[in-house]
Amino acid sequence: MIVQTIGVVGCGQMGAGIAEVGVLAGYNVIVYGRNEDIRPACQARVRGSLERAASRGKLEAHEVVSALGRLRGTAHLADLAAADLAIECVAEDLALKHSIFRSLDDVLHPAAILASNTSSLSITEIALSTRRPDKVLGMHFFNPVPVMRLLELVRGLHTSDETLAMARKVGAYLGKTTITAPDSPGFIVNRLLIPYIVEAISAYEAGLGEVAVVDSAVKLGMGHPLGPLALADLIGLDVTLAIADTLYASSGNPYFKAPPLLRRMVAIGQLGRKTGQGFYEYRR
């Protein structure tokens, strides 16, 4: 099977980023979203990103026009019937993902691959909601998708060699370096990343230093391009909390336990860059 059309389920920041790299790579991309406001905003985000790239000389004007011509949005999941690969990127909610995968299983043609951009949930469990578990895998992109080079491929217990090979091929066309991770909580990256962010939040909460001090200590002392608190804002504090809770529930390891401050910030809607307020303030 050759992948020519990619379906993206979810119109948020990750969905827009996946759609952008998809159309730039020459794929036809159909983005599904139920929200009448978010769906046009997703397409506008892709357009704005491509136009900024053109203004910096990274793309030609005709490349922007051509890429946008391969992008369309829809409010009807049935329109994804043309997709050879569908990538789900909605909230870290297993019940929600089960519902989406059941619907996609009914809509997509039998050879199509179903992928989840989940950060921590079990691919094997997600695949159980379909009649094609051999064609289900994780394709974990990183934010911002057009910039971050890594694509973490997660193999469930039933994922076939052919499915993994096709995902690896698509990843290469998207300009990503792929690694294969087992279906273990947090996979590779988040299993290492979340304890780091959790401890940084705990350190700040305990008064070891102000936000900028904690981040500067990491950037200058460890050579990281972004401090852990700024990184949490970029990921989204709600997403960070959801991953931490999933890892803690599945392992019981206290390294993954979310600090009370993180839970309070999420409760009052301070989610980071997406809301304009997290550990830092952002212009919206």
Task: Go through the domains of the chain in sequence order and give each one's CATH number.
Answer: 5-182 (3.40.50.720), 193-267 (1.10.1040.10)
Active-site choice (20, 49, 129, 140): 140
Which amino acid, 13?
Answer: Q
Active-site choice (116, 119, 122, 129): 119
Taken in order 70, 71, 76, 77, the sign of the CA dihedral is positive
CB 280 within 8 A of CB 267: no
Active-site choice (20, 88, 92, 152): 152
For the record, the structure tokens of 111 come out as 């050879």
How many Å separate Cα 203 from the centre of its chain? Answer: 27
Query: Rounded to whole angstroms, what are the CA distances from 146 to 21, 156, 227?
Result: 6, 26, 20
Active site residue 190: yes
Active site residue 158: no
Residue with tokens 């951009």: 117
pLDDT under 70 in the chain at which residues?
Answer: 37
Query: From the DSSP assignment, how many helices (H) and strands (E) are in the chain?
Result: 11, 8
In this prediction, residue 1 carries a pLDDT of 72
Preceding omega of 144 cis (within 30 degrees of 0): yes
Which amino acid, 30?
Answer: I
CB 160 within 8 A of CB 134: yes
In this prediction, residue 42 carries a pLDDT of 85
Q: Kindly calculate the radius of gyration of the chain based on its CA atoms and give it in whole angstroms.
A: 19
CB 211 within 8 A of CB 279: yes
In this prediction, residue 144 carries a pLDDT of 93
Query: Rounded to whole angstroms, what are the CA distances from 48 to 5, 74, 109, 207?
Result: 22, 19, 33, 40
In this prediction, residue 175 carries a pLDDT of 97
Interval 235-270: pLDDT, tens: 999 999 999 999 999 999 999 999 999 999 999 999
Please list the residues that pair with 74 across neighbouring strands: 32
Active-site choice (117, 120, 129, 190): 190
Predicted structure pTM score: 0.93
For the record, the structure tokens of 26 come out as 């020459």
**What is the distance between the alpha carbons of residues 122 and 220, in angstroms, rounded to a whole number?**
36
In this prediction, residue 227 carries a pLDDT of 98
CB 145 within 8 A of CB 152: no
